[in-house]
Amino acid sequence: MEIFFNPWIVGTGTTVVAGLILYYFFGVGKVTNKNRIDPEQTDTRETSRQKEYEMELESFRNDMVRRGLAHTNIRINGEAGLRTKYGIKAPANVNEIELVVGGTIYRLTNQNNNNKYDRAKTDAGLNASPEQILAHYDKLAGYIKDSNGNKINNGPFWEKEKSKLESRQKQVTMWGWVAEITSHPVIATLTIILISAFIWYVFGFDLSRFR
């Protein structure tokens, strides 16, 4: 029994126990509290960031209006950049896409509309303009709204683009036909003779000197 009442052992044991108690309450606890995320501080930071975003967004929009760019893709892309900068989530209607055509904003839908916007971009081609994308979206009977949220009937955008495509196709066909005809040796020779005769007739050149 003497070993349990040895002053050295008792003193050492008491010191160790006291140290563990102090470390637990003032060491581990302190570190844990230091690393713990305070919800109130997080909310404060989020609110501050949101306010900074709203202030810069308002300033940006005013600048766009002053420069006459309020209804352009520059404004739309700029606002998206600000959301990325401040880590702001896109609006709930991120499914809605804005296109600026001829200074007018048109709102289209994608995911809730069988991905018609993505399909329209593919159909229109890599270098398609917003007007061409809108036309192909219209061809797919996609849902189109104006800047005030009013529905726009389908048809006119694609009809306009289709007319342009048909006109281009006619030009390509015509020039292809001309190239095919003039590539024939006999036709090419006759063409040269006719052009020479026309030059002689108009300008009075003496073609005999070229013999």
Write out pLDDT tens, residues 88-134: 776 554 567 888 898 888 988 876 678 888 889 899 988 899 999 99
25-34, 132-141, 197-206: which range is least confident on average?
25-34
Q: Work out the pLDDT band at 14, boundaries 50, 70, 90.
A: low
Q: How does pLDDT run across 21-76, given as a tens digit for each residue?
A: 666 665 544 444 545 555 666 667 778 888 888 888 888 888 887 887 766 667 77
Q: What is the DSSP letter of 72?
A: S
Q: Is the pLDDT of residue 3 over 50?
A: no
% pLDDT > 90, the chain:
15
- 141-159 in b/e form (b: 16+ CB < 10 A) is ebbbbeeeeeeeebeebbe
Number of other residues whose CB lies within 10 A of the CB of residue 123: 16
The domain limits of the chain are 91-154
Return the pLDDT at 95.
67
